[in-house]
Structure 1
């Protein structure tokens, strides 16, 4: 015979309604009571009926994370792994489960989100990317579903979002290279439809302009957030009649491809080309040479996104919640950009 909520309540010396409140993480239940009830649940082997609970409470206590690409490609970039780690840590703390959803293209992403939300399998969604004219964002806005965007939206500046000031971050990274004496600075960008690519390119351009350095379109290369994009960019840059002496690179993973390409072509970092990138993933300190990178607080981005979404799901409308959170960044300067007298290439 299965254990019921009444059995747990009797054993713990509380009412069945108290057990229900423990299951829903009600804020008025003390930690001591919550711990005692949960210990009894474990002792008796009690498992709540999630489907029945969902019907009564009208909440699934689950959120979904929408991946921007097929998972097998996405997980090649440690940025997303660290982001998801932060999301899951906060969701678990709040008593929420996390579902992962992905699609091969924008249409499949919208279909996946529609199934999850129309089918009431999740209470809200986290988008790990920000695209211009994003159909997923449009769908969520149209149907008034709770969601949070990691990044910012040009189309909907008022939506709930968690971001780094990527314009300022790229500005600071570029000014660092200028302070080292560089004037011939290139930029390795990401996909042009992503807002993060646009913002980091804008910060790069502003820094050059403020220092009286002309921006050169032939020193800007677009690609994906993959090593191969950085590798291909080096074949392009190093075949130019006049080459950059320094590079701002949109992502650490792309930088590893840049390092590989430069090494195969016989160039040294930072003696021939100084580089600085973004995200400060754990491998940046282990590369040869160690990479200068902008730490954007990846874990905090994920943690705050999860916290903001769940807070909005539970919000009763009695107060006004903020709709934008900005995680501070900092430059982590290492050997790859510390060369103040670059020689002519």
Structure 2
């Protein structure tokens, strides 16, 4: 038989309204009474009806993560697994549940976030990607729904966001290769509509320009954040008459594809091509050879995004002296894949 609030109240010797106030954390309930009621709830196996509670409080104690593409494709990249781990860990510590929703395209993403927020199934949303002229961000901003963007928007400067300085991170990655003596450096980018792809490409170009080095259009290849993009890029790069001696890959998963392609073509890293990539997922250290990578603090990105969103839900008007953009520091982890200059044994 299901245990009700009335059952708990009867055993605790208090009114049902007092039990409800204990559940909602009402400040007028004494610590002694609160502890007593909670002990009895645990003894009786009482589980609060969160749906009924949400109708009264107009909150759900739930947030959603909006994935930018179908989950089966996304979860092949460990970056998202670690990012979501950070989000869920912090949300759980704050007493919030996490829903995950995705769409095959921007229209489906918009429908999903509209359904969840208009239907009051969640209190706010975390977006894991930012695109140019993003319709999902526009919808959330225009309707004043609480949300946090992992990344940055090129249109809305005052939205809550958690990001890295991706321009500077790519500058540092490219500059490392330049310091090793490389002058012909290629770049495997992500989808051009994504802000992170554009920022990292900009950082690469700035580093080349600041060192007086030329970039060639054929040295820049666009793709997805998947192994296959790096794999395809290699058959193109290594057949160029004036091919790069080093490469910046936009993501560690892309660099794994680069390694696979080079291995099939009988080239060696870093002797024939030096590599630096981004994210520093655990597999980058275990690959052969270990890959130099920019550590962007993936878990910290997710944890902070969750923390910022929940704070904005609980205290929506507390914006005095409150920054909207949180920048997580990055650092270059140098490994074997970039430890030799061109032509050096």
> What is the TM-score with the length of structure 2 in the denominator?
0.93
Displacement after TM superposition at 1:49 (Å): 1.1
8 Å contact from structure 1 (residues 170, 203) kept in 2: yes
Moved more, 228-237 or 33-42: 33-42
Give the total of aligned pairs: 343
Deviation at residue 264 of structure 1 after TM alignment: 0.6
State the distance in 2 between where 1:323 and 1:168 align.
20
Task: Give the whole-Å Cα distance in 2 for the aligned partners of 1:2 and 1:329.
Answer: 51
Summarize the Cα distance change of 1:52–1:216 in structure 2 as closer, same or farther, 3 Å threshold: same
Question: For 1:32-56, what per-residue CA distance to the aligned partner results, in whole angstroms no more than 9, with x for missing partners?
Answer: 9877654432321101111110111
Question: What is the alpha-carbon distance in structure 2 between the residues aligned to residue 65 and residue 28 of structure 1?
Answer: 35
Cα shift readout 1:219-238 (whole Å, capped 9, x = no counterpart): 00000011110000001101
The answer on whether the counterparts of 1:66 and 1:126 sit within 8 Å (CA) in structure 2 is: yes
How many angstroms apart in 2 are the aligned matches of 1:332 and 1:110?
37
Counterpart for residue 325 of structure 2: 324
Q: What is the alpha-carbon distance in structure 1 between the residues aligned to residue 16 and residue 318 of structure 2?
A: 28
Question: What does 1:289-308 align with in structure 2 at a 5 Å threshold?
Answer: 289-308=289-308
Once the two structures are TM-superposed, the CA of residue 216 in structure 1 deviates from its matched residue by 1.5
Correspondence for 1:113: 113
Aligned-partner Cα distance in 1 for 2:303–2:154: 23
Query: Residues 190 and 225 of structure 1 are in contact (CA less than 8 Å); yes or no, is this contact kept in structure 2?
Result: yes
User: What TM-score comes out, normalization by structure 1 length?
Assistant: 0.93
Residue 160 (structure 2) pairs with residue 164 (structure 1): no
> What is the alpha-carbon distance in structure 1 between the residues aligned to residue 215 and residue 13 of structure 2?
72
Q: Deviations over 1:210-261 (max 9, x none)?
A: 1111121110000001111000000110110011010000000000000000
Where structure 2 has 5 or more consecutive residues not aligned to the other structure, the ranges are none
Moved more, 221-230 or 136-145: 136-145
What is the correspondence of 1:152-231 to structure 2 with a 5 Å cutoff?
A: 152-231=152-231
SS in 2 for 1:199: helix
Alpha-carbon distance in 1 for matches of 2:31, 2:185: 56
**Which whole-Å deviations, capped at 9, do the CAs of 1:161-200 have from their partners, x for residues lacking one?**
0001100100111111111111111000000000000000
Report Cα offsets for 1:3-25 as digits up to 9, x if no partner.
23354456567776665455446
- Aligned Cα root-mean-square deviation (Å): 2.2
Q: Secondary structure at the match of 1:236?
A: helix
